[in-house]
Amino acid sequence: MPEFLPALAASDLPPGRAAEVKVGGQAVALFNVDGTFHALAARCPHRGGPLGSGYLAGPQVSCPWHGWTFDVTTGRNVDGGDLGVPRYDVSVEDGQVCVKVG
């Protein structure tokens, strides 16, 4: 059964920022939206662009390669369509952002 694993210190990801981290051997894109953390699979399904380096505007991240945009709270493509990104559960424990992968 998957468990929450530490990803990074909450203080290392200020509001409005994104980062890519490794959690349990998996690349994960983390986002801080107004103090709430969200996690998605790190690669855009279109061409594999790095979502952790994307442009975060509110709860939406745009892939830096071709602009595909996803809701970080759900992983769904905001332009519709069936392509989405896997979303992971997140918790903050003792100042650490933890992600449940697997």
pLDDT band (50, 70, 90) for residue 1: low
pLDDT digits (tens, 9 = 90+) for 25-73: 999 999 999 999 999 999 999 899 999 999 999 999 999 999 999 999 9
CATH number of the structural domain 4-100:
2.102.10.10
Helices (H), 2-99: none
Q: How would you label 13-49 residue by residue, b for 16+ Cβ within 10 Å and e otherwise?
A: beeeebbebebeeeebbbbbbeeebbbbbbbbbeeeb
Cα(23)–Cα(80) distance, integer angstroms: 29
Question: Where in the chain are the domains?
Answer: 4-100
> What Å distances lie between residue 95 and 10, 24, 28, 56, 73, CA to CA?
6, 19, 18, 22, 21
Structure token digits, residue 70: 């996803």
Phi-psi region of 13 (alpha: psi -120 to 50; beta: other; left: phi over 0): beta
| pTM reported for the whole predicted model | 0.94
